[in-house]
Amino acid sequence: MSEHHYAVIMAGGGGTRLWPVSRKENPKQLLPLLGQETLFQSTVKRLENLFPPERILVVTVEEQAREMKQQAPEIPEENYLIEPAPRGTASVVGLAAKVLQRRDPNAGMAILPSDHFIRNVDLFHYLLKAAFEVAEQDFLVTLGITPTMPSTAYGYIQQGKPLDGEYKYPVYMVKSFKEKPDEQTAQQLLRMGDHSWNSGMFIWRADSILEEIEKQMPELGAALNIIGAAWGTPGQNEAIEKNWPSLKNVTVDYGIMEKAERVAVLPAGGLGWSDVGSWSSLFEVLLPDMNGNIATNAGLHLAHETHNTLVYGGGSDRLVVTIGVDDMVIVDTGDVLLVCKTDQAQKVKDVVEHLKKHRQETYL
């Protein structure tokens, strides 16, 4: 990887779909969901031998930064960019690009979510290298994930004609971005064969994305210019405090990518990617035993006529006994027990909404 290439790990969010393990104070990326490492640690580790720690940036919020610095002490402290307040990924991506551009006018950057799983790390490395190659031609590049089912949980990217030129990996112009579809539409998109899932992984040169921001979100561009000029000077905090709060809260996908012209996609099959977006996704990520069962972070699990069932013990060492249980997710934290049919795991967020409405703060 060129010395001008940087990784930017995005780690601000919360999310409720892995409740009761993920909580307001304990977001998904900071949890050892898949075993010993947290998702954030796995994300950092996945960059080993590709980026030296000095070229890995982490964008996060104040409340998470301390824990992250403990989980990944190899990343230099000055590489943590603290998002003053949540203003959507467009602002955050812009800030990271601005900071990187000041540091290295030739900077290229890979935007990577902190809370995803990728089984095939070698292919991931290969794809990133291929994507940077395309990005050097002033493209905004996105990694698409070849769908394995008609998921309604992801946005989709439709590819257009192949890019001219010789690249390491097939790359296409993006024809359109599509929001999360309903079941029927998802099946249609799958049949069309030219749609990928939007993974939220983007690769571009800092100056390419900043130019696009100037064009499409001039107010953000202006604010970034002021903040960028003050960055690293005594006026930095004042510049942020004055200009950040008024920014529009918008994602980079819909704020920038949808209307940009030079957008390319690498449709990646075989990555073994998952956004670990619900309890049911753990069946894709962890390796079930011969009965389809998974016990993780649990004490002893005694499975009696039990199939396709996940027991997530939250680190407690209690004995979990299941008898005649099929297709269930059992999550056991100290204060909450969740028993959920796997195909209804997305309803966990409704439960969290219910708890919010009834002010059951201790469980949030």
Q: What b-and-e string marks burial along 207-246, b requiring 16 or more CB atoms within 10 Å of the CB?
A: bbbbebbeebbeebbebbeebbebbeeeeeeebbeebbee
Q: Does 364 bind a copy of itself (CB under 8 A)?
A: no
> Which CB sits closer to a copy of itself, 193 or 334?
334
Q: Does 323 bind a copy of itself (CB under 8 A)?
A: yes
Q: Does 338 bind a copy of itself (CB under 8 A)?
A: yes
Candidates 172-180, 188-196, 280-288, 324-332: pick the segment binding a copy of itself (CB under 8 A): 324-332
Q: Nearest distance from residue 304's CB to a copy of itself, in Å?
A: 6
Q: Does 291 bind a copy of itself (CB under 8 A)?
A: no
Query: Of the candidates 176, 341, 353, 356, which one interacts with a copy of itself according to CB under 8 A?
Result: 341
Q: Could you say which residues in the range 4-33 bind a copy of itself, by CB under 8 A?
A: 20
With a CB cutoff of 8 Å and minimum separation 6, the contacts of 340 are 279, 328, 329, 330, 331, 347, 348
Using alpha carbons, list the distances in angstroms from residue 59 to 56, 63, 83, 179: 10, 12, 7, 25
Q: Does 321 bind a copy of itself (CB under 8 A)?
A: yes
Specify the residue for token string 């960055």.
Answer: 231
**Torsion-angle region of 298 (φ positive above 0: left; ψ -120 to 50: alpha; else: beta):** beta
Q: Phi and psi for 41 in degrees, rounded to 5?
A: -60, -40
Residue 179's CB is within 10 A of a number of other CB atoms, namely 11
Query: Of the candidates 179, 238, 343, 353, which one interacts with a copy of itself according to CB under 8 A?
Result: 343
Q: Does 328 bind a copy of itself (CB under 8 A)?
A: yes
Query: Of the candidates 161, 191, 304, 357, which one interacts with a copy of itself according to CB under 8 A?
Result: 304
Enter the tokens of residue 290.
């011969």
Q: Nearest distance from residue 275's CB to a copy of itself, in Å?
A: 20
Interface with a copy of itself (CB under 8 A): 20, 302, 304-305, 318-325, 328, 330, 332, 334-341, 343-345, 347-348, 350-351, 354-355, 360, 363
